[in-house]
Amino acid sequence: MEYRLGNSKKLYSTGETEVITCPNCDKKVKMSVFQNFEFRLKADFPLFDTGNVFCLVCPECAAVFGVNEAQAKVFKKGEKLAIGNFDLKELERFDV
C-alpha cells in the first residue's frame, strides 16, 4: 500500500506527540510526526500552490495517519497537545 505525502524527496522529523491511542492497533503510544513539502501547479493566478504535508507514524504497528496543516504548525511551534486522538485522518491510497 502506498500513500502520496507531498512531492519532495525528503521527510523531515518534527517531533513526537504526547501519548495518544492509535486507531489501528488501539495501543497508547507517542507517535512520530513528519513533514514533507508539496508543490502544485494550478490553472489560476498565482500559478503555483505550495504547502506542507504532515503525517504521523505509529511505532507499534507502523500505521500512517494524516493531520491538518494548521494543527501541525501549532505542534511544530512547541505545543505538544495540538495533536490529539480526534485529529488523526486516514490517508488516501495511491495506486500505481
Hey, which bits of 42-96 come out as E strands? 48-57, 64-66, 89-90
The pLDDT score that the predictor gives to residue 90 is: 85
The pLDDT score that the predictor gives to residue 89 is: 87
- Tell me what the mean pLDDT of segment 44-67 comes to: 85
User: How sure is the predictor about 87, in pLDDT bands with cuts at 50, 70 and 90?
Assistant: confident
Euclidean distance between CA atoms 25 and 14, whole angstroms = 23
The pLDDT score that the predictor gives to residue 73 is: 87
DSSP 76: H
User: How sure is the predictor about 4, in pLDDT bands with cuts at 50, 70 and 90?
Assistant: low
Phi and psi at 74, nearest 5°, equal -65, -40
Give the residue carrying C-alpha cell 498565482: 46
